[in-house]
């Protein structure tokens, strides 16, 4: 089954404790991206990757890191989480370039930073 | 930068009735895509309908249809014969046809369906 898998789905952590949210897709997509969802703001892009070893900042990259060492994986790293990073996070992927434009989303990761 | 605005934070509809969600966007591009995504309580993002800007015909998917007004930069979603399962958050989204795969989302509209 074609899917984007995120882990963990739920996480409560404390300020400053490094954490990683993993993302894996099995559709051989070149493009992968991370979004955060906050009430009234919709989803905003954090980082994206056009292919292996190619990453770039989105609209709200502060406090986050990413890496793309393999095509299927695109982890999101919070080196020193702060309460303002409490949010719902989505990983998404698609074929690069001109196509139908549809993004395929993971099931979301609810992160709470105390 | 493109922006997407959903002016209705919440809409309520009676089961079997019709509800229309509004979406406006701002862009200087002529080549782009527009989407409506549904997010039920499960949080999964589900594509409802897509519209290519170069197509004049409004997209339709079963009970879901759009009214795409390119000159007005408006992209409303109509849900006909509303069902309890339509209750969800709905997001309008924009994607450039020229520059990458990024989606720009509106703030969302919550749809409540009354039995």
Q: What is the pLDDT along chain B (115 residues), one digit of tens a residue?
A: 789 999 999 999 999 999 999 999 999 988 899 999 999 999 999 999 999 998 889 999 999 999 999 999 999 999 999 999 999 999 999 998 876 788 999 999 999 999 9
The shortest CB-CB distance from B102 to any of A45, A100, A105 is to: A45
Nearest in space to A65 (alpha carbons), one of A31, A20, A96: A20
Counting residues of chain A whose pLDDT is more than 70, the rounded percentage is 96
**B46 - beta bridge partners?**
B38
Q: Output the pLDDT for position A100.
A: 65
Q: Output the pLDDT for position B2.
A: 85
A87 touches chain B (CB under 8 A): no
Q: Which residues of A39-66 are buried (b: 16+ CB within 10 A; e: fewer)?
A: eeebbbbbbbbbeeeebeebebbeebeb
Residue at token pair 């898998």? A5
Residue A114 buriedness (CB in 10 A; 0-12 / 13-18 / 19+): exposed
Residues of B in contact with A50 (CB under 8 A): 100
Q: Output the pLDDT for position A96.
A: 72
B43–A31: do the CB atoms touch at under 8 Å? no
């Amino acid at each position: 089954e074609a899917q984007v898998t995120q882990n963990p789905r739920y996480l409560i952590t404390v300020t400053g404790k490094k954490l990683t949210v993993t993302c894996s897709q099995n559709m051989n997509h070149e493009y992968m991206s991370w979004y955060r969802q906050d009430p009234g703001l919709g989803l905003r892009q954090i980082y994206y990757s056009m292919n292996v070893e190619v990453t770039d900042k989105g609209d709200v990259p502060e406090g986050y890191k990413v890496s793309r060492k393999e095509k299927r994986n695109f982890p999101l790293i919070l080196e020193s989480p702060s309460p303002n990073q409490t949010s719902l996070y989505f990983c998404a992927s698609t074929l690069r370039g001109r196509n139908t434009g549809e993004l395929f989303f993971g099931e979301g990761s609810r992160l709470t930073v105390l | 930068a493109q922006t997407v605005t959903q002016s209705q934070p919440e809409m309520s509809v009676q089961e079997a009735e019709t509800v229309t969600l509004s979406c406006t966007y701002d862009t200087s591009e002529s080549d782009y895509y527009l989407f409506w995504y549904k997010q039920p309580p499960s949080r999964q993002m589900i594509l409802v309908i897509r519209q290519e800007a170069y197509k004049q015909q409004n997209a339709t998917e079963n009970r879901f249809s759009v009214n795409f007004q390119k000159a007005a930069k408006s992209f409303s979603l109509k849900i006909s014969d509303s069902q309890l399962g339509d209750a969800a958050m709905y997001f309008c989204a924009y994607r450039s046809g020229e520059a990458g795969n990024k989606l720009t989302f509106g703030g969302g509209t919550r749809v409540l369906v009354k039995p």
